[in-house]
Structure 1
Amino acid sequence: MANILGNLNRALMVGGILLLIVALAFHAPDIASDPANWANWFLRFAHVLCGILWIGLLYYFNFVQIPTMPKVPAELKPAVSKYIAPEALFWFRWSALATMVLGLAIAGSPPQLYLVEALTFQAPYRLIGVGMWLGIIMAANVWMFIWPNQKIALGIVEGTPEAKAEAAKKAMLFSRTNFVLSFPMLYCMVTTYGLAR
């Protein structure tokens, strides 16, 4: 068991196989009779999975890494900045992009087709539209502000000590902005189908 679960790629493969077994066991007739509808549900699953990774890492940065780094002894900080943070930021930025793209694909594909209506806040899609715009802003923050500044702060891109400190501050502020926006964004996403839209 440790041989399988001790390796991330093997654990992912086992999870994928279990997902396939469950999908076929419970939805084989749906897949066969209405593949477009099932594909839309699968897009939703992928959107939520990527969103969990993205927002989970956002919360890791804001609840764990940012508050803990000042307490880490100077000789141990390179372990975080050279190994942990770059890897976490890799998954953070790509899961942000995947979450946004999958969400837009869901809204723009049959049977939904509410992308334009949601993005322009037309009834009954105003609530999901707010959530979509918050998600788009958050994903843009990741790629346009957090990641470029983190590259400088972590030394991936050359910078003076002053430039690194300034970039770390900017990255933290945009990360905190996303942290704050995540609450109304998640509310809009989760309650869209249970409340009046």
Structure 2
Amino acid sequence: MDSLSIDLLLRWGHFIAGVIWVGHNYSSVIQRPNWRALSAADLIDDQSPRFQALLHREHGTFRWASVVAWSAGMLMLWRYGWLMGAITLQGTLAPIGIGMYIGTLMMANVWLVLWPHQQKVLGLKPASIAERVRCSRITHLSSRTNTMLSIPLLFFMAAGAHGGLLAG
């Protein structure tokens, strides 16, 4: 595979995975703007409509989209020779570096906070009903945090590509 094809594959992989990942956050906010905490009754009966709605959501897709988006972004920075400049926030690479740090924080939030708690809520890991209810709130806050972080993330991604003069 030639260099141009690799660049195109990375760019589109980063873009599509980013749309899936960030889009999942926004659709969650739009579909559930008046989020109501799960109750013990919602979790006792695995056949309850509320529990089944949770179970049938696309839990795996957005988590793996975060890995693809982050990995493709890091590979692009490395291939262009921009990785160290972005990491150290140097010059015109500072905006994309800030976006990279926000994206890294968001991915860590998905994998280290949201997913371990969500596994308990869904009954994939053993937990008491009280623990599952508590974890439900944590997953909600974790998801909303990523939604809010995606706003500056998108700004700095665009500024990195189109607004380098921000870091002059």
TM-score by length of 1: 0.74
Do residues 40 (structure 1) and 7 (structure 2) align?
yes
CA spacing shift, 1:65–1:91, aligned 2, 3 Å: farther
CA spacing shift, 1:185–1:61, aligned 2, 3 Å: same
Paired residue for 1:101?
Answer: 71
Paired residue for 1:24?
Answer: none
Q: Deviations over 1:62-100 (max 9, x none)?
A: 221463666xxx64213212322xxx1100110011110
Do 1:69 and 1:77's aligned partners in 2 also have CA atoms closer than 8 Å?
no
Question: Partners in 1 of 2:18 and 2:132 — Cα distance?
Answer: 29
Question: Partners in 1 of 2:74 and 2:19 — Cα distance?
Answer: 17
Question: Partners in 1 of 2:3 and 2:60 — Cα distance?
Answer: 32
Task: List structure 1 segments (4+ residues) > 4 angstroms apart after TM superposition.
Answer: none
TM-score by length of 2: 0.86
* Gap regions ≥5 residues in structure 2: 43-47
The percent of aligned pairs where both chains have the same amino acid is 26
RMSD of aligned alpha carbons? 2.1
Aligned residues: 158
CA spacing shift, 1:54–1:152, aligned 2, 3 Å: same
CA spacing shift, 1:66–1:147, aligned 2, 3 Å: farther
**Structure with more relative contact order (C-alpha pairs < 8 Å, separation 6 or more):** 2
Paired residue for 1:54?
Answer: 21
Where does 1:19-168 land on structure 2 (aligned, <5 Å)?
35-65=2-32, 67=34, 75-84=48-57, 88-109=58-79, 112-168=80-136
What is the one-letter code of the residue matched to 2:158? V
Secondary structure of the equivalent of 1:67? coil
Do 2:92 and 2:160's aligned partners in 1 also have CA atoms closer than 8 Å?
no
Secondary structure of the equivalent of 1:127? helix
